[in-house]
Amino acid sequence: MTAERYTGGLDFILDQTSGVPYYRQVIKQVEMAVADGRLNKGSKLPTVRSLAVHLQINPNTVARAYNEMEIRGIVNTQQGTGTFISEKKIDLTDEERKDILDALIRSFLANASSYGFNIDDVTGHLNTLKEDVKL
């Protein structure tokens, strides 16, 4: 599932098969975007309601993510104005980034395998797509 692009290149995407609760997936995506500079201090996040509608999840799930990020100091919520990225600097180690990418790729490969594709099929297709897809 995807949501509209709300802020500085951040697309919220949930993986239903990962076993990771949705609220944690939202938090991790915001943390990653802050760490790599896609979200900067003052960037506005979507409202709880709009993100929940676009992700097709319960608004309480998004509210839980936002509340936890506020407790951690990642965001500031201003009543009537919105939720904004705070000044807190987030640094992810290369190992943390590798672990996240590893989990994403393993999930993707398991899904591809369930459709009968092997690693050579996947890598071959990725090579053909890399010119069309900007990462």
pLDDT, tens digit, 9 for 90 and up, residues 82-124: 999 999 988 888 999 899 899 889 988 998 999 999 999 999 9
- All structural domains of the chain, each given as residue ranges with its CATH number in brackets, are 22-85 (1.10.10.10), 94-129 (no CATH)
Tell if the pTM clears 0.85, that is, is over it.
Answer: no
The DSSP call for residue 109 is H
Can you tell me the distance from the alpha carbon of 64 to that of 61, in angstroms, rounded to the nearest whole number?
Answer: 5
Can you tell me the distance from the alpha carbon of 122 to that of 37, in angstroms, rounded to the nearest whole number?
Answer: 29
